[in-house]
Structure 1
Amino acid sequence: MSNPDIKNIREVEPEPIGSGLNRNHGNYTDNEQTEDTGNNNDNEYTEQSGDEHVSEETEMGAQAYDPGDFNDDDFNIDGIDDGGDEIEGFSFQEDRFTASKPVWNDVKFAVFFLVILFILIVTSMTLMVKYFGKYIVDNSGNATLPNSVFFQFKTIFLFLFTSLISFGSSMFIFLNAGKSSERFVNFGVKLLIGLFLMAAAASLLVGQILQVIFFGVISGVLILIVKKYQPLITLASHILSIVIDVLKKYPSTAIAALIGFFTSLIFTLILTISIGCAYIAYGFHSDGQRIDENSKVTGGLIFTILFLNFAGLYIIDVMKNAMHVTIGGIYGTWYYLNSTFTGMPNNEGLGSFKRAMTYSFGSVCFGSLFVVFFQIWAIFAMIGDKQVGIVGKFFDVVLKIVGLIVGYFNLYAYSYVSLYGVDMVRSASSTLKFFKQRGLQAILNDSIISAALGFYCLIASLLSLLITCVYLAIIRAIFGLDDAVYLPLAGYSFLVTFNITSILIITIVSGSSVFFFALNKDPAVFQESHPFEFQEISRCYPKVLDKLVL
């Protein structure tokens, strides 16, 4: 099998930045390109000194980027034979995506976020300082285990060992998924079909017709993909394998997801306590239940709870998207810089994080507003569901569906932001064009990968649970173990494994969306750096040869 023929390419050394997508390939100006009069068929490029290209504004770890305009002559696909082993006529000039100076995008939305964050901190601290003691007393009856259990050395050791089992199970399944991704994806999709069919049957038994239709349609679509569109599964397996390989090579991607996960977890805990304290402040239990008939809903309570929910949802979504932009920046840096003369920059994760939290942070805050808007309206619809019956249910379903669509659109919009550092409006416009041309393929590809990742998460969690149960049974038989901690430890193992795999899934989903976007927009870059992988992808996805102009 021969590699694709790449013509007329000359590398130019990238500008020295810490991270970000600064692949300075030959996007030459007219005065940089000269024609060799001795040979009418060949073009020779002259390179300027690197000092003329290096900007003084490159001290930052990452920069914003301008995709610029494209010329159809830069990407010719005449003469492509989809059925042959070789891909011919695939000559190109590589694009430069850097801007001379970094750009702070959508700053006003970053300011809005900081104002909301400041008000939330002041409100939460005020409520917690005044009512945290009452909150503890109000929730003290919810404990399922005696406190003395957790201070036994044996129990602490078991918790630590169970955590190691969970981590080991997650890594074992994860590494095997990367080695045999196609078999992993196929088995995951088939298992998911079985689960959805069982869910449809269970829904039919309890008389939930809408759920029967929902699970039945999803099962039918997956069966159709397996039977008629096997190349889609092959493409998804190739992408999954590539994304996992990058994750293994650059663990900073998983570290970014881990930081985002724990930050969101801690913030959610603080927000939950703040909402509980707000209820107590207005004469209710921390869960919102009335204490007595004197507990009355006031305008102050409604406003406080609504603000805490809005601010909490907004900040959590910003955290999630900031981590996605950070992870996407690392994958984008690998996509454009991995095969250059200088290679990957040092501290690529830190550089990508800096850009996500500075130049692109306003764009992150801007896009998150749309998702939170639909989430808040869904809450209103859920409240109205109790008042207006079927009408409230209908609007609740519609708003949830629209919210999911907006969230999925943002996944790719933020992928574009992480790749090229543009503002959110331009990113949304380019993403809309992307979905018009490759949207169906993106949705199917993500659905297949999600099915495989769901299978991975389930298998890893069950494996960890099984090993933990066997281990605890042996410990209980030999050394004795309090029955009060047996089931909690088994459940703890399952939850820890589930969360570890969730962190890896977040990383893979971010990486796959960024990679698929960059692959469709700049296929020539991947063809040059990974010719064999590109040729394998082009066999099951010929559209990759047709470069998108966004």
Structure 2
Amino acid sequence: MAYQGQAADYYNNNNYQLIDSPPHNQTGYQSYPPPSTAPPQNNGQNQQPYQQPYLQPHQQQPPNDGPKFNQQPPTYGQNFAPPQDNKQSFQDTFKIPKPKYNDLWAGLLFLATFCGFVAVSGLTLYRYSRYHSFNGGGIYGSANDFSLDTNTIILFAFVLAVGFAVSWAYFLSARAFTKQFIWITGILNCVLAVGTAAYYLYRRLWSAGIIFAIFAIFAIICFISWIPRIPFTVVMMQQTMDVARMKRVHVFLISLIGGIITVALSAWFSITLVAIYVSYMPGNSNSNANPACADGGCSSGKVIGLVVFVTFAGYWISEWLKATIHTTVAGTYGSWYFCAGKPGGIPKGATAGALKRATTYSFGSISLGSLLVAIINMLRQICSVAQQQSSADGNIIGTIMFCVLGCLISILQWAVEFINRYAFCHIALYGKAYIAAAKDTWKMMKDRGFDAMAADCLVGPVISMGSLFVAYLTALLAYLYLEFTKPAYNDGRTFTPVIMAFSFLIGLQICQVFMTPISSGVETIFVAMAWDPQVLMVDHPEFYERLMHVYPQVQHMIQSV
């Protein structure tokens, strides 16, 4: 067989041996058709139960000796047309037979939420501008002693600047020091967790100190458990970075543009948040009443309601942005995996084509997946504020309870995001609806064993830990700023938990957007290997050789498909 012959020659020349190589009549696959042969289209007639790019199912089923589908699997890649020259576009290579706008209701709901955020922001910023002098022109000089003011806007400006600078430096370190990147992340996260716990204990904030001490112990244990899996993760990250440096792959540009957009959205959100408090928070007394409330309409309930809405909208918008970046990058990396070894190479305009599909036919599917994560993030944010408030009040029991609840929500968030990100890889190339893509992709990876391979890779946890490092840093900056400037509205540290929670959110989201292209590349490679593992051996032999060194199980996984 062509696959077996090429792979055997390659590995015999490099002192490798293929394990238990099955004969031709047991593999279930035939060799590549000629490059000019287009794959069969779905004309409504009965088709074979499973087709992959370049592969046709054999009449005899594969032996039942490895991970594979137990039932008829969905078809993948049946509309894949290998590029014949360097002018073939992404849309021509990964065709959608009958394009349609999937999950349209979710897309419309997202647009309505965005319009609502714009309306609330516009109204509150107008009210804030009318009474700007009452809230001060800088860090000091505000007559407002009951709600957020200009002092808070300057605080968020510092948070945005630090979040942007540290996140971009973190991304560049992944590019320049890929091998050491995981060690740097783990050590910095452990050091920051220990330092933060020590600082809070030094300031006699016992509840916060104990909680962060527990986090520090957990971070150290996690990092130690990482060590055996670091070589495998390094290979995956190095391959991702190698692809990112190729022509027609604009990963670094996508990361920079996404980070800038996220900073702009975070600034917009921060100013809107302050404007809500300034516009609708009643004063403490008649002597210091809020002039914006002279015509009535102010109440603490309205403030809480608007803050909850803009926080949810901010989460959904930022999650949609991350998912759109992820889907765009997934289309680019999928183009590399399936096309780089073919005569035409990576399709022309792969990045732009993937972005166009993500913002048109897949817009609703991305909005739906982002909505689920946004709801979970909102619940986690509420737990974080409640935990900070309990800590400030010295309520150790309440702090521990909200901490445990937050951990459970974080586990749920991890599970949803794990499924989401692999489903978006499918959506990027084949344009399915969200639920169908999530079910098909997860079943395929699980039945073929690639879910275990993906779980062994540390790229996701490393990036999450790095994002937490930036989030802890911005939250600590907010705390120190409030302690040193001592704004009148924060007498008794009333607003410290809320401001720290939102600073944490801003730092976390900025870093996650910056790092999304890296994790997207790794995840897309996993999904592509599950779709058509033979392409890895034939078209990317050097990558396969390095992968074999650190993860020998991949050979059995490929041969058993």
The TM tier, using the shorter chain, reads 0.5 to 0.7
State the match for 2:270 in structure 1.
272
What is the distance in 2 between the residues matched to 1:335 and 1:189?
A: 30
1:6 alignment partner in structure 2: 6
The aligned amino acid for 2:260 is F
Q: CA RMSD in A?
A: 4.9
**Does the CA-based 8 Å contact 1:70-1:549 persist in structure 2?**
no
Shift of residue 44, structure 1, vs aligned partner: 8.7
* Match runs of 1:321-340 below 5 Å: 321-340=323-342
**Which residue of the partner structure matches residue 350 of structure 1?**
352
Q: Secondary structure at the match of 1:354?
A: helix
Question: In the TM superposition, what is the alpha-carbon distance from 1:382 to its structure 2 partner?
Answer: 4.8
C-alpha separation between the residues in 2 aligned to 1:500 and 1:302?
A: 25
Correspondence for 1:138 among 135, 140, 150: 135
Q: Kindly state the Cα deviation for residue 535 of structure 1 after the two structures are TM-superposed.
A: 2.3
TM-score (norm 1): 0.62
Instruction: Identify the residue that residue 429 of structure 1 maps to in structure 2.
Output: 439
1:236 to 204, 221, 233: 233
CA distance in 1, matches of 2:532, 2:328: 20
Conservation of the 8 A alpha-carbon contact between 1:135 and 1:276? no
Gaps of 5+ in 1: 9-41, 56-65, 81-93, 145-164, 462-497
Please show how residues 145-544 of structure 1 align to structure 2 within 5 Å: 173=173, 176-177=176-177, 181=179, 185=182, 208=209, 211-226=212-227, 229=228, 232-250=229-247, 251-283=249-281, 297-382=299-384, 390=398, 391-433=401-443, 434=445, 437-447=449-459, 450=462, 454=466, 505-544=515-554
Kept in 2: contact 1:256–1:349 (CA 8 A): no
- Structure 1 172/358 Cα, relative in aligned 2: closer, same or farther at 3 Å? closer
SS in 2 for 1:6: helix
The CA distance in 1 between the partners of 2:33 and 2:411, in whole Å, is 54
| Alignment of 1:119 onto 2:121 | no
Secondary structure (helix, strand or coil) at the match of 1:344 reads coil
Paired AA for residue 177 in structure 1: F
How many residue pairs get aligned? The number is 424
Instruction: Give yes or no for contact 2:463–2:515 (8 Å, CA) kept in 1.
Output: no
- 1:142 alignment partner AA: I
Alpha carbons 1:105, 1:363 under 8 Å: kept: yes
User: Secondary structure of the equivalent of 1:402?
Assistant: helix
SS in 2 for 1:341: coil
376-385 vs 353-362, greater mean Cα deviation: 376-385
Query: How big is the shift at 1:510?
Result: 1.7
Structure 1 residue 357: Cα displacement: 0.5
Is this contact kept in 1: 2:277–2:303, CA < 8 A?
Answer: yes
Q: Percent identity?
A: 21
CA deviation after TM superposition for structure 1 residue 432, in Å: 3.8
Distance 1:221 1:246 in 2: 29
Residue type of the partner of 1:420?
A: Y
**TM-fit CA distance, 1:242:** 0.9
Code of the aligned partner of 2:268: I
Indicate conservation of the 8 Å contact 1:257/1:327, yes or no: no
- Equivalent position amino acid for 1:276 in 2: V
Q: Is the 8 Å Cα contact of residues 367 and 410 (structure 1) preserved in structure 2?
A: yes
Indicate if the aligned counterparts of 2:423 and 2:438 stay in contact, CA closer than 8 A.
yes
Q: Does the 8 Å contact 1:519/1:544 carry over to 2?
A: no
| Contact 1:196–1:219 (8 Å) recurs in 2 | no
Structure 2 counterparts to residues 35-54 of structure 1, below 5 A: none
417-426 or 431-440, which deviates more: 431-440
Q: CA deviation at 1:325?
A: 0.8
Deviations 1:120-151 (A, max 9, x none): 2233223323433435762522289xxxxxxx
Cα displacement (A) at 1:531: 1.0
Q: What pairs up with 1:14-29 in 2 under 5 angstroms? A: none
Return the offset for 1:408: 3.9
Distance 2:411 2:361 in 1: 31
The letter for the 1-side match of 2:220 is: S
Change (3 A) 1:538 1:350: same
2:548 aligned counterpart, secondary structure: helix
Q: 1:529 to 1:504 in 2, by over 3 A?
A: farther
Q: 1:171 to 1:324 in 2, by over 3 A?
A: closer
Aligned-partner SS, 1:268: helix
In the alignment, the residues of structure 2 paired with residue 73 and residue 540 of structure 1 have an alpha-carbon distance, to the nearest angstrom, of 35
Say whether the 8 Å CA contact 2:255–2:513 is kept in structure 1. Answer: yes
Partner residue of 2:496?
none
Instruction: Write out per-residue CA displacement over residues 61-109 of structure 1, whole angstroms, 9 at most, x where no aligned residue.
Output: xxxxx979995879979999xxxxxxxxxxxxx9645442334221111
Q: Deviations over 1:25-47 (max 9, x none)?
A: xxxxxxxxxxxxxxxxx989876
> Take 1:335 and 1:113, find their aligned partners in 2: how far apart are those partners?
32
TM-aligned CA distance change 1:48 to 1:518, over 3 Å? closer
1:345-384: CA deviation from partner (whole Å, max 9, x where unpaired): 2222111110110121111100111111122223444565
Q: TM-score, normalised by structure 2?
A: 0.61
